[in-house]
Amino acid sequence: MKILIRVSYLGTNYAGFQVQKNAVTVQEKLQDAVESLYGVRYPLTGCSRTDSGVHAKDFCCTIEAGADCERIPFEKIPDALNVRLPKDISVFEAFLMPDDFHPRYSVHFKEYEYLIYNSRKRSPFYEGRAFQYPTELDEFKMDRAADMFRGTHDFSAFMSSGSGVSDTVRTVKYCRATRNGREVRVTVAADGFLYNMVRIIVGTLIEVSAGKIQEQDIPVIIESKERGRSGFTAPPEGLYLNKVVYR
């Protein structure tokens, strides 16, 4: 039996999602809760690997559970897990899925959101939850440049080294930048993402705003496949997995 749970979490206190030997992760805490609930440490598979400090509003996992788990109605699973989870991790839905469903490979697209707190003055409410950038950003320039990422491209220029990925072609459904007061948000949806792809896109858009990279240079940078031509890697605390859509 395969149970899909939808989870939200603040990643500040965790070394990413995936279990690690010498660090606390979100997956470990979820597995602890599942084991406490069912008495068995069932396998738990996530839809993505989020880095240390990255957050999620909608993260999907499957629990490969035994038939005896049917004793707990699916609508009660979120509450049953939440009382066993720390306050910065919450399960908000649970569903029974077919055996051939995979939380990663069955994805149609994912949407990430990057939050920038655009102010010189520090705010405790954004600490660990947004990238504080003191220089005034031009969200209109950023948005025009962001739209140039749409389509199917080789995004090698927007991938950090060490990922070990050979297939670097991805399809971006949309990419945009918006402002609401001091908050500037970059939203990107794609069928998949390379290592640090969104954070490098954000860093590139910030450099477009600063005039270090020209808007019209984005297609040239993509075509070059050279990491050294794109912008800096924005820090992890502003990144949120916002939405996961399945086929």
Active-site positions read: 51
Say which residues have a Cβ less than 8 Å from residue 216's Cβ, sequence separation at least 6.
none
SS (H, E, C) the chain: CEEEEEEEECCCCCCCCCCECCECCHHHHHHHHHHHHHCCCCCEEECCCCCCCCEEEEEEEEEECCHHHHHCCHHHHHHHHHCCCCCCEEEEEEEEECCCCCCCCCEEEEEEEEEEECCCCCCCCCCCCCEECCCCCCHHHHHHHHHCCCEEEECHHHCCCCCCCCCCEEEEEEEEEEEECCEEEEEEEECCCCCCHHHHHHHHHHHHHCCCCCHHHHHHHHHHCCHHHCCCCCCHHHEEEEEEEEC
